[in-house]
Amino acid sequence: MTLTAAGGASVVYAAGGPGEKLSPLSGAEQAIALQQVGESIHWASLAGNVTTTLTLTWPTGDGTHELGGALVLERPAASVSGQIDVGEMPMSVEFELGS
């Protein structure tokens, strides 16, 4: 868990490689319960309100050109649980916790 300047916290789940499931980093599982079903991510906060989710996808390429991955920033409608669908298995998801 990483403390932020605003007094909240940031927790991260990350995959070891493309197509792999997300794993908690630095105790993230103590703040966010996460279940990954295929490309869908279902999460529930165990430590307060989630103000923002930041999802990164893996870079892609066509053999000639390397393309960066997508960056999806969302403010969840419900601050205690939600679902993330970006159309592929992500590289990482960061949850910002706050009031």
40 belongs to a structural domain: yes
38 belongs to a structural domain: yes
What residues make up the domain containing 84?
2-15+23-90
99 belongs to a structural domain: no
Domains identified in the chain, total number: 1
51 belongs to a structural domain: yes
What distance in Å separates the CA atoms of residue 22 and residue 91, rounded to the nearest whole number? 8
**DSSP sequence for 6-69:** TS-EEEEEE-SSTTPPPEEETTGGGTEEEEEETTEEEEEESSSEEEEEEEE---EE-SS-EEPP
Q: Are 44 and 53 in contact (CB under 8 A)?
A: no
98 belongs to a structural domain: no
pTM passes above 0.95: no
96 belongs to a structural domain: no
Residues 5-57: tens digit of each pLDDT? 445 799 999 999 999 999 999 999 999 999 999 899 999 999 999 999 999 99
6 belongs to a structural domain: yes
